[in-house]
Amino acid sequence: MSVRRILRMGHPDLRRTCDPVAEADFGSPGLHALVDDLVDTMHASEGLGLAAAQIGVPQRVAVIEIQPGNARYPGAVPTGRLILVNPEVTVLDPTPQCYWEGCLSVPGLRGEVARPCHIAVDYYGPDGTPRHLEPEGFLATVFQHEIDHLDGTLFIDRVTDTTRLAFLDEYREYHATASSKPT
């Protein structure tokens, strides 16, 4: 278990399409070690999600965990720790919802992104157990953001109105609502 270096925007490895985890690797020590590193690295940076691509591993693995009182996203509803292997998204309701997103690979910036408001996600746990969730609201955005990383997409690619792109200080001052103001 270790805290890994997070690749930043501009590193070409963030732009790769990641490979699915092979069935033979479910439950393997290598996969568990990758998941442990993702969790440790996410916690060390107070992120609420991290994809393997962000630590330079081109596999379809990501973790999501919103802890109570997360300093970077104070308004977010807590989740348990979710470990996604080979996730697939199905849109249940395409009505766009907008949230200001940030990313540990795009430090210091926030940008407003519209995404479908309700999705289904089919994925596997690290031991190969099939899982199904139907997140909506902010959690649906978090899932789509992390799964985008597995296809080399960053939130900044989805910011369509660049007047809604801001450095963190300016986001806090001019755009954040009281309940979503990061510390």
Active site residues: 146
What's the min distance (Å) between Cβ of 181 and Ni ion? 20
Whole-number Cα distances in Å, 157 to 135, 177, 178 = 22, 24, 27
Task: Report in angstroms how near the CB of residue 49 gets to Ni ion at its nearest.
Answer: 7
Task: Specify which residues 28 forms β-bridges with.
Answer: none
Least separation in angstroms between CB 39 and Ni ion: 15
Map residues 46-85 to x or -, x wherever contact with Ni ion holds by CB under 5 A. ----------------------------------------
CA dihedral 120, 144, 86, 58 (to 10 degrees): 170
Binding residue count for Ni ion, defined by CB under 5 A: 1
Contact stretch for Ni ion (CB under 5 A) within 4-12, 28-36, 101-109, 112-120: 101-109
Q: Does 113 bind Ni ion (CB under 5 A)?
A: no
If 0-12 CB within 10 Å is exposed, 13-18 middle and 19+ buried, where does residue 22 land? exposed
- Closer to Ni ion by CB, 50 or 85: give it: 50
- Given 103, 121, 139, 159, the residue binding Ni ion (CB under 5 A): 103
Question: Which SS3 state, helix, strand or coil, does residue 163 take?
Answer: helix
Cα separation, 133 vs 146, in Å, equals 15
Question: Where does this chain bind Ni ion (CB under 5 A)?
Answer: 103
